[in-house]
Structure 1
Amino acid sequence: MIDVPLPDPRAHADALARLDGLVKPVGALGRLEELAAWLSAAHGTVPPRPLENVRVVVFAGDHGVSATSAYPREITAAMVRVFLAGKSGVNVLARQVGAQVRVLDIAVDDDLADVPAEVREHKIRRGSGSIDVEDALAPGEAARAFEAGRAVADAEIASGADLLIPGDMGIGNTAVAAALVAAVLGLPADDVVGTGTGLDEAGRARKVEVVAKALARPRGSGPFELLTALGSACAAATAGFLVQGAVRGVPVLLDGVFSGAAALVAREIAPDAVRWWLAGHRSTEPSQAFALKALGLSPVLDLGLRLGEGSGAVQAVPTLRAAQAIIAEMGLLADLA
């Protein structure tokens, strides 16, 4: 079990009291007030500090179930180069809010010899196993990937990050996410499998079959055994990233279906870590809805997104900044002449 500090309950209570005293009807700013109080608790101060240094880390890797996707697995390596060129969706959206984007090759099925060495410094393996017929990872790899994710979070925080966002890139990742959520929550494959990259009904039916086969395979009961059997190196690294953000007391804004699934497993490792997480947006994938309900998280935005990469969470950053601004800058009813 990993020890995680708790957000400050006194700061949360003080924030709620201040919000009730602002120049507005009580509760008139709805979810913004809830987020302002949450940030106050996370920072241990009222008002909370501005969110000035937002970091997105995209964990890239291929999955053996990539045949369930509408796109070939070679896209993953190509997209790593697009991230590095600053041309991906999350690159564009991150620039709008002043966030920095880092991409890491955790398990891309390519040597990527032409990209900077620091992109590959945490590589665990080339691709993950096809979970319908074999384990995703070899023994010990899930723990290694988890620790890699923790190290990445530490590095981002050491360089000034005050908000962390996990991103993902990997053909087949929605199938892996569906399998993880189904396994943790005891759900059938048909309930959690969506259309991913845009599958038609026949494609979705094949994906359901793959996930059902994966769930039927024998596996251990612990979180690392689950990541080994049904997850991926990227899922394990993302889980480590989420947990370490919480350990360090830095808020984490979850993205879509993949980070939601990783968070569900991460909670099994560090139950109190969920207190440091917010859900950035609602994915169109059904498994995310199950994961967020189990985690007790409500998405900040619902824009019908299914891109991944951290792109949805990035768009929630202005809402968090607005929440910080209202409690920091609005006047008090008591000060009215």
Structure 2
Amino acid sequence: MAPSTSAPTFPPIVPPDEAARSRATELRSSAPTSAGIPAGSMGTLEDVAAWIAACQGAAPAQPLDAARLIIVAGEHGVATAHPEVSALPADFTAQVRQELARAQAPVVDACRAARVSLSIVDATLGKPSAPIDTADALTPEEYDKHLARGMRFADEEADKGTAVLLLGDLGRGLSTVAAAVIGSVCSVEPVKIIGRGSGIGDEAWKTKVSVIRDAMFRVRDDKAVASRVLQQIGSADLVVMAGILAQSAVRRTPVIFDGVGAAAAALCAQMLAPGAAAWWLAASAGTEPATQTALTALGLDPLLDLRLGTGQGLGAVLALPMVRYAVAACSTSV
């Protein structure tokens, strides 16, 4: 079954302001050398500062004071049906969510240090997504509900004046689901798109390849339609994240995302709302081959190269101080 005709849709995406980007670049190029950072000497950070100016529609860019990380957690039926695809304990997602709620997880410390507010979203709502190799992950109605829910989160942040939104993922079995989605959309065979995930061995890797192969076969005729891919072989958390990413672009809120699940959601969000990727920055390419495949398709170059495999948006939180510095340095030197 395909998503219903009542599924939420997105208006045409207004791109970041190119005039503001050009003005920010011009201001930077005319900065006095006495500042100690001549024009061009900050490399990619100058492009990042110009991108923020374009997103804000003002040059030079203004400080990114209000930042929020949204971690979207999900339970995946494929990890229950095939426990070997993940080396993590069965209750891993619940354990981490509990630690996050207790403010005891490492990413919480990173948020404190970077002055980032934190929200944890339970996308599953008590019902894990179905095993994607044998059944549709979601019903059409569930797809609609989760997409609209993600859109509401983006609207709430825009209405609160959040200057930059950070997005992270969490879930046992997530790398399997994400690889199936990315492999389908990008037409890449499973053996070239999956890594070792949580540290699985050879036999488990073979099972993972088989699961992803069977899932991709199920959407072989629908891989150009993001809504069908997400509904059939995605998951609730991927749909929520796609809603957040696409609607943030609608509301002109820049997003920094991190994690293979977020990358898969971004790939689909760009298909749902063409042009939305212009409003996003990829924090890192992580350790999963599927992530780089998705980022290449999106035309996004990761800001960091730390080989982070933790998910939970940690890379996005670590990237934010660098982005803030780029904005400050390229603004104060003009």
Flag whether TM exceeds 0.5 (same fold): yes
1:96 is the counterpart of 2:109 = no
Aligned to 1:282: 285
Structure 1 regions of 5+ residues with no counterpart?
A: 108-122, 332-337
What is the one-letter code of the residue matched to 2:90? R
- C-alpha distance in 2 between matches for 1:326 and 1:80: 36
Q: Which shifted more, 154-163 or 33-42? A: 154-163
Q: Residue 64 of structure 2 aligns with which residue? A: 51
Conserved in 2, the CA contact under 8 Å of 1:54 and 1:164?
yes
Does the 8 Å CA contact 2:28/2:333 hold for their aligned counterparts? no
Question: Matches of 1:27 and 1:143 in 2, distance apart?
Answer: 46
Q: C-alpha displacement at 1:2, in angstroms?
A: 2.8
Letter in 1 for 2:191: D
Structure 1 SS opposite 2:306 = strand
Q: Matches of 1:249 and 1:138 in 2, distance apart? A: 30
User: Residue in 2 aligned with 1:27?
Assistant: 40
Residues 62-118 of structure 1 deviation map (CA, whole Å, 9 limit, x = unaligned): 1012121111332212222111111122212111101011111111xxxxxxxxxxx
> Does residue 128 of structure 1 match 2:129?
yes
Counterpart for residue 82 of structure 1: 99
Q: Larger deviation: 56-65 or 196-205?
A: 196-205
Check whether the contact 1:181–1:264 (CA below 8 A) recurs between aligned residues.
Answer: yes
After TM superposition, list the pairs within 5 Å mapping 1:1-337 onto structure 2.
1-22=10-31, 23=33, 24-66=37-79, 67=83, 68-107=85-124, 123=125, 125-218=126-219, 220-221=222-223, 222-331=225-334
1:29 to partner: Cα distance: 0.9
Output the CA distance in 2 between the equivalents of 1:2 and 1:220.
Answer: 23
- Alignment check: 8 A CA contact 1:150 1:241 kept: yes
Q: CA RMSD in A?
A: 1.3
For residues 246-275 of structure 1, give each alpha carbon's deviation from its aligned partner in whole angstroms, at most 9, with x where no partner exists: 111110001121111100011110011111
Q: Determine the C-alpha separation between the residues in 1 that align with 2:289 and 2:144.
A: 28
| Distance across 1 between alignment mates of 2:11 and 2:148 | 12
The normalised TM-score by structure 1 is 0.90
Q: Which amino acid aligns with 2:232?
A: A
**Post-superposition offset of 1:26:** 3.5
TM-score of the superposed pair, with normalisation by structure 2: 0.91
Residue 37 of structure 1: how far off its partner (Å): 0.8
Give yes or no for contact 1:143–1:224 (8 Å, CA) kept in 2: no
- State the distance in 2 between where 1:104 and 1:254 align: 15
| Partner Cα distance (1:268, 1:215) in 2 | 18
User: How many pairs are equivalent?
Assistant: 315
How big is each residue's C-alpha offset from its partner over 1:31-71, in whole Å with a ceiling of 9 and x where there is no partner? 11111111111111111110111111111111012121111
Q: Deviations over 1:172-225 (max 9, x none)?
A: 000111001001011101111111111123322221111111111246342111
Counterpart CA distance in 2 for 1:128 and 1:81 is 20
Give the gaps of 5 or more residues in structure 2.
Answer: 1-9
Contact map agreement 2:168 2:258 (CA 8 A) in 1 = yes
Superposed CA offset, 1:261-300 (max 9, x none):
1000111100111110000112110000000001010111
Distance 2:141 2:195 in 1: 30
Q: What SS does the aligned partner of 2:310 have?
A: coil
Alpha-carbon separation, structure 2, partners of 1:161 and 1:11: 20
Tell whether the 8 Å contact from 1:64 to 1:127 is kept in structure 2 after alignment: yes
Report if the CA contact (8 A) 1:2-1:269 is conserved. Answer: no
Secondary structure of the residue that 2:123 maps to in structure 1? strand
Distance 1:56 1:276 in 2: 16
2:231 maps to a residue whose letter is T
Distance 1:42 1:245 in 2: 11
Distance (whole Å) between structure 2 residues aligned to residue 89 and residue 238 of structure 1: 22
TM superposition outliers: structure 1 runs of 4+ over 3 Å: 218-221
